[in-house]
Amino acid sequence: MTSRIRVEANGPLLEITFDHPPAHAFDQQACRDLDTAFGRLCDTPALRCGIVTATGERIFSAGWDLKAVADGDRGEDFGPNGFMGLKRQFNKPVIAAVNGLAVGGGFEFALHAHMVVCAPHAEFGLPELQRGFLPEAGGLWRAYRRLPPSIANELLLTGRRLTAEEGLRLGFVNRIAPRETLLDAAREMAMQVVAAAPLAVEALLEIARASEALPDAEAFALFQAGLPAHRRMRQSNDYYEGPRAFAEKRPPRWTGT
């Protein structure tokens, strides 16, 4: 059976494309395929950043394949990291390049991504309550973390869609780019990530996750105690390569060791 996603390594970038038009909806197998791609990103040292987008210009993803559910596919074997891999803790940055409408799981994925680049006509919605259930793949609480509570309440309770411009104004969207250059804008942002030290990037994501809900005193204590990726960074050659490169007025040569 043809996969609903396409995966391609582009130098240090792993580009993942939803390819099940018109809605790019996800069934159980598609979720497992997507999580396999994320595993490749996380486990391959040469890959430094992921970009997730979709074919076409109308829809990024409508999330759960409700037509399949209506036809009797009630299974929820989405793989170890849940629906669309939304339980996975990424050790590499992931950029959502949103080409159109992102609703349900599509919006939940954008909320889970580290950065969002979108087309001007993109919209984001969580219509689950209007369909009789909740956004259970992380969107419910991530909406409150990434957006002002009053806006999150409105989107969840009424089903209203967030526009690209509103998302940019609220700090959820990083950049808006024309559809024809959307992937180029995401790649440009990703290559800026690649310029940073790989172990430092991994340590930052680790500490940001662990300290997200902590008061300052506990966050400092956690930071000083050191988490695994943070300790690897501190003990690495790259930890000293940055200062050497600065002193020698040259670009750093990161090895990830």
Read off the pLDDT of residues 124-163 as tens digits, 9 standing for 90 and up.
999 988 888 888 899 999 999 999 999 999 999 999 999 9
Query: 5-194: what fold?
Result: 2-enoyl-CoA Hydratase; Chain A, domain 1 (3.90.226)
Question: Within a 10 A sphere around the Cβ of 235, how many other Cβ atoms?
Answer: 11
pTM of the predicted model over 0.85: yes
CA angle in degrees (0–180, nearest 5) for 7-8-12: 125
Share of the chain above pLDDT 90, in %: 82
**pLDDT of amino acid 1:** 64
> Catalytic: which of 108, 123, 202, 206?
108
Query: Residues 15, 76, 123, 128: which is the catalytic one?
Result: 128
Model pLDDT for residues 183-232, shown as the tens digit of each residue: 999 999 999 999 999 999 999 999 999 998 889 999 999 888 889 999 99
Residue 54 pLDDT > 70, yes or no?
Answer: yes
Q: What is the mean pLDDT of residues 231-241?
A: 93
pLDDT tens, position by position, 75-112: 788 999 999 999 999 999 999 999 999 999 999 999 99
Residue 71 pLDDT greater than 80, yes or no: no
- Residue ranges of the domains in the chain? 5-194, 198-247
Packed helices 198-211 and 216-225: angle between N→C axes, nearest 10 degrees: 140
pLDDT reading at 72 higher than 80:
no
Largest CA distance in the chain: 65
The mean pLDDT value of the chain amounts to 93
Nearest to 107 by CA among 163, 148, 158: 163
In this structure, are residues 125 and 103 in contact, taking their beta carbons and an 8 Å threshold? yes
Active site residue 212: no
Give me the residues paired with residue 7 across strands: 16
Q: What six digits make up the tokens of 20?
A: 């099940």
Written as six digits, the tokens of 149 are 């509570």
Measured CA to CA, the distance from residue 47 to residue 137 in angstroms comes to: 26
Q: Is 202 noted as a catalytic residue in this protein?
A: no
pLDDT, greater one: 3 or 18? 18
CA dist., res. 132 & res. 148, Å (int) = 24
